[in-house]
Amino acid sequence: MAFIPGQPVTAVVQRIEIQKLRQGDNLILGFSIGGGIDQDPGQNPFSEDKTDKGIYVTRITPGGPADAAGLMMGDKIMQVNGWDMTMVTHDQARRTLTKKKEDVVRLLVTRKSLEEAVKQSMSYPRQ
Amino acid sequence: MQSPTVMEVGEEVLQVLEVCETVEEIKEVIVTTIEEDTNTNAPPVASSGPGTKPSQDDNWGETTTAVTGTSEHSLSQEDIVRITKDLEDSVGLDCRRYFTLTLAVILGLLVFLTPLAFLVLPHILWPERLQSCGTACEGLFISVAFKLLILLLAVWALFFRPPRAGLPRVFVFRALLAVLVLLFVVSYWLFYGVRILDSQDENYQGIVQYAVSLVDALLFIHYLAIVLLELRQLQPCFSVCVMRSTDGETRHYNLGQLSIQRAALAILEHYYCDFSVHNPALLSASKSRAAKHLAGLKVYNVDGEFPAAPAEGPGNNAAAGLAHSQSRAMIAAAARRRDSSHNELYYEEAEHERRVRKRRARLVVAVEEAFTHIKRMQEEEQKKAPGDVMDPREAAQAIFPSMARALQKYLRTTKQQHCHSMESIQQHLAFCITNNMTPKAFLESYLTPGPTLQYSRDHWLARQWTLISEASVTSGLKDGTVFLLKCVDFSLVVTSKKIPYIQMSEEYIDPKSHKFVLRLQSETSV
C-alpha cells in the first residue's frame, strides 16, 4: 500500500456500503478511525508502511452498522462517497464520514488480504 | 562646659561653643563676664573668700546679667563649617608632589643621558687609541638615535600626564619600577666603569653595541611598565557595589586587579559622573521623624545611681547591664504604643507628590509660554531691522521674569533651590536659546537632579575625601573587601565581590540533526 510520489496509487479495493444508525440526535456508523496527514504515521499499528498517512479503521463496535456491512479492523479507507481519503486530515475525514445530510456512506476500503486473494486467483490457471 | 542654666540671652553663643571648641575668643569673653558677676554679687555667706565655689551660691543664677559683649563676635553654624572647610583646602601636601616630581625628573635625565655618555666618553678620554668606527658601527648610531627617540616619546606618553589625584600612600608599582630602572642603570655604569673606562678598551664597536643593548633593555622595561601600570587592571575581576550612606543611592562597577587606593580613585571618578548630587535638604524629613520617635519616651531610674557614667571599659558591667535593660524597656514600650506615624508619613508623601506635580505643571506651561515670546532672527532680517535686536544673554534676561516665579516655587518644593542660583539659571537659559533647544530641553536639568559634576564647584559638598580601610590601602582588592570613602557630609560604602571563575564546556550539534515529528495520534469514533 505504499505509494510512490508522482505516480497514481493503485490498490485492490472492496466496496462497502454502511447504513447509518440513528441514535437520538446522531447518526453513527459504529467504528473508529485513526490517521491523517496531520497525524504521526509511525504510531499506526495497522499500516504496513509506517509513512502511510491514510485513514485506517482502528476499532469496530461489535453489532454496529459497520460490522454488519463487513468492515474490518485495520482497513484503509480510500474513498468515502467519492471523496478521497488518502490525503486528508483527520478532522476532514471525520467530517466527511459524519455528514448529517447523508444516511448512507459508500466506502472503498483496502486491506492486505484482498491483494493476496487477487494474486492467488490470478495464479490459478483457468481451466 | 559650664552649666547651661546661666545663659538665656546668649544661648546661641553657647551652642556655637559646643560645636567648635577651638574658637578661643568667645570662651574668654564669657569667662570674664561670669567672674565679674560673682565678684559683684557676693554671697551672703560668712567665709566669702576667693576659695568659694560659684556653684554653691544660691543667688548666683538669678543675678547674672546678660552677656552683651559677645554679640559682635557671634558666629553661626554655617560660618564655622565654612571656616573648617577653607582650612582643609588651603593646607595641601604639595611638598610630597614636588619631591616625587624631582625624583622622576632626575631618574629620567639619568636614563637618557647614560647611553649618550657611554658613546661620548671614549672619544673624550682616549681618542687616539680608539678604533675608527666602521660601517656597521655607524649603522648602530642610527639605531641608538631612533630607539632613544621612541623611548622618549613612550615615556612622555605614559608618565608625563597631568596627575589625577593625590593618593595617601606611594604607588607601589611605580616605586618598584623606579627602583628597577635605577638598579639597572647603576649596574650598567658599574660594568662600564670597571671593564671599559679602567681598561680603556679600544674596540669602539663593542662599546656602541653595549650602549645599544642598554637602550633595548630600557625599552623592555618600558614595556613592563605598560603591562604593570596600564594593562593589568583592564580585565574586570571584581564587581564593586558603591552605596551612599545618606540616601542609599547605589551603583555597581567592574574593576580589575587594583590596590585599594587606586580602586578608590577609580570609584570617586565614577562618583562625580554617575551619582546624583547630594542634597542634604531631602533628609530632613526622616531626621525629624527619628527625633519624634526618641522624644516620645523618657526613662527614669527611680532606685540607685543616676546612669550618668557611660558604660566604658570591661569593668563597668553593672552600668552596662543597666543601660541594656533600659534600652530593652524603651523598645518594648515603643512596640506597645499605638503609633500613627506611618499614617502621617503616607498622607504627607501623597500630599507632597500632588504638590510637586501641580507646581511642575505650572512650571512647564510658564516656560513654554515664555519661549514663544522670542524668535530667532534670520540673516537677511538682521540687516533690515537693526532696531530691537538682542543677543542671547539679553534675550534670556527678557523672558526670564515670566517664568522665574514658577521655577522658584518648583525648586523650593523639590528642595533644590540651593543648587541653582539666579545667575546660573539665566546662563543656562541663554545657552538653550543659542542652541535652539525646546522648553522641555531647558527644563530637564531642573526636573531631575543630575550628576555632581554638572553643578558648580561650591555645590559639590564633596571635595576632600578620606579613605578608611581595615586592610592596608596598598594591598590589592579581594573578595569581600569593605572600605569607606568619607567626606564632610556623607560617606560612600564600598564592598567588592569577585567575579566567579567560569568553566565552560562545548557540545556539538549537527545542523542536520534537527528533526521533528508530529506527536498527535487521535482516534475518533464515527
Pick from B517, B518, B524: CB nearest A94: B524
Cell readout for B3 is 552649666
Mutate to test the interface with B, among A18, A27, A32, A89 (most CBs of B within 10 A): A32
Beta-strand pair A76-80/A104-110:
antiparallel
The helix/strand/coil state of B143 is helix
* Cα(A89)–Cα(A87) distance, integer angstroms: 7
Tell me, yes or no, whether A6 lies in a domain. Answer: no
- pLDDT of B397-446, one tens digit each? 989 999 999 999 999 999 888 888 889 999 999 999 999 999 999 999 89
More confident residue, B341 or B440: B440
| ipTM for this prediction | 0.77
Of the candidates B517, B519, B526, the beta carbon closest to that of A33 is on: B526
Helices B94-125 and B204-226 sit at what angle, rounded to 10 degrees? 160
Answer yes or no: do B526 and A29 touch at CB < 8 A.
yes
pLDDT score for B128: 84
Q: Is residue A55 part of a domain?
A: yes
* Residue A1, in any domain of the structure: no
Beta carbons of B370 and B402 less than 8 angstroms apart = yes
Cβ within 8 Å, pair A40-B518: yes
Q: In this predicted model, what pLDDT tens digit does every residue of B130-147 receive, in sequence order?
A: 888 888 888 999 999 999
**The predicted structure's pLDDT at residue B86:** 59
Supply B293's cell numbers: 520617635
pLDDT at B87: 57
Q: How many CA atoms lie within 13 A of B240 on its CB side?
A: 28
Cβ neighbours of residue B119 closer than 8 Å, sequence gap 6 or more: B141, B144, B207, B208, B211
Q: What's the rounded mean pLDDT across residues B277-305?
A: 75
A67 falls within a domain: yes
**In contact, B108 and B47? CB cutoff 8 Å:** no
d(CA B127, CA A69): 130
Residue A71 falls inside a structural domain? yes
**For the whole model, what pTM was predicted?**
0.61
Q: What are φ and ψ of residue B233, in 5° steps? A: -95, 10
Mean pLDDT value across residues A79-97: 93
Closest residue to A40, CB basis, from B517, B523, B524? B517
B385 — pLDDT class (breaks 50, 70, 90): low
Per the CB < 8 Å rule, is A59 touching B517? no
Per-residue pLDDT of B49-78, as tens digits, reads: 444 444 556 665 566 565 555 555 556 665
Residue A90 domain flag:
yes
If one compares A90 and B49, the residue with the highest pLDDT of the two is: A90
pLDDT tens digits, A37-87: 988 888 888 888 888 899 999 999 999 999 999 999 999 999 999 999 999
B6 contacts B34 by C-beta, under 8 angstroms: yes
Q: Which residues from chain B sit within 8 angstroms of residue A61, using beta carbons?
A: 525
Q: Which chain A residue has its CA at the smallest distance from B522's CA?
A: A34
Cell 560617606 sits at which residue?
Answer: B491
Position B212, amino acid:
V
pLDDT at B297: 64
Q: Which of B518, B525, B526 sits opposite A39 (nearest CB)?
A: B518
Mean pLDDT, chain B, integer: 79
What per-residue confidence (pLDDT) applies to A32? 93
Q: Is A32 on the interface with B (CB under 8 A)?
A: yes
CB pairs under 8 A between A and B: 41
Summarize the confidence of residues B146-156 as an average pLDDT.
Answer: 94
Residue B32 has pLDDT above 90, yes or no: no
Give me the CATH number covering residue A57.
2.30.42.10
CA torsion, points B342, B343, B348, B350, in degrees to nearest 10? 110
Residues of A in contact with B517 (CB under 8 A): 40, 42
Residue A54 lies in a domain: yes
For the segment A101-111, the average pLDDT, to the nearest whole number, is 92
Domain count along chain A:
1
The pLDDT value given to residue B52: 43
- Dihedral-angle region of residue B393 (phi above 0 means left; psi in -120 to 50 means alpha; beta otherwise): alpha
Domain span at A17: 13-120
What is the mean predicted confidence (pLDDT) over B336-364? Answer: 87
**CA–CA distance, B459 with B276 (Å, rounded to integer):** 12
The 3 state secondary structure assigned to B169-190 is CCCHHHHHHHHHHHHHHHHHHH
Residue A8 falls inside a structural domain: no
**What is the mean predicted confidence (pLDDT) over B317-338?**
69
